[in-house]
Amino acid sequence: MNFLEEKIMADGVVKAGDILKVDNFLNHQIDINVIRQIAHELKRRFEGERIDKVVTIEASGITIATLLGDLCGVPVVFAKKGETANSTDDKYVSEAYSFTHKRMNQVFISRPYLHAGERILIVDDFLADGQAVHALIDIVHQAAAEVVGIGIAIEKGQQQGGRILRSEGYHLESIAIVESMDPETQAIRFRQQ
């Protein structure tokens, strides 16, 4: 087991509805040591790639993206969720269905923060059905920038996001891939990588 799998085994709580709660190190309280290890591991997995910018989505992707951007020496941009209010002229806008909140979110990045030709590494805390990552890919493409890869802390392999993104040809790296989890017994199985 790698460091993140061990942390999930120690502190993760499996909830009904295929939800893994990791509030005590990632989604509420932040364990900086764990986030730092996640950032180092993602940097290692994308070694050799030229990256111009790290892009994530609020809120929980921001800590990982910030430390990774710092390690890579590149800017970090996070997409915002919610109503874009009046004008969308100054923004790249997409939509993502939220698996955890069961609602459609508008997702946007203001135009000055993405540029044509930039090589973007997309980062997030969780990958489930791939809605959030696909919205970010859509936004990157609207800006005529390029997706170099996708770095995820925890992929839930029992959901379809990872399979779809890999079949679309994206370089997807997930540090921990959950194969199955049981809210009754709290058993969690990881995919061998």
List residues binding ligand 5GP (CB under 6 A).
19-22, 27, 60, 96, 99-100, 124-132, 156, 161
Shortest distance (Å) from residue 75 CB to ligand 5GP = 21
Q: Is 91 annotated as a binding residue?
A: no
Q: Which is nearer to ligand 5GP, 90 or 95 (CB)?
A: 95
Question: Cα separation of 6 and 50, whole Å?
Answer: 31
- 132 annotated to a ligand binding site: yes
- Any binding-site annotation on 130? yes
* Residues sharing a CB contact under 8 Å with residue 170, sequence separation 6 or more, in sequence order: 137, 147, 149, 150
Residue 21 known to bind ligand? no
Buried b (16+ CB within 10 A) or exposed e, 108-140: bbeeebbeeebbbbbbbbbbbbbbbbbbbbebb
Question: For ligand 5GP, which is the closer residue by CB, 130 or 157?
Answer: 130
Q: Minimum distance between the CB of residue 153 and ligand 5GP, rounded to whole angstroms? A: 10
- Asked whether the CA dihedral 2, 21, 159, 64 is positive or negative, the reply is negative
User: Smallest gap, in angstroms, from Cβ of residue 181 to ligand 5GP?
Assistant: 9
Binding residues for xanthine: 20, 27, 156
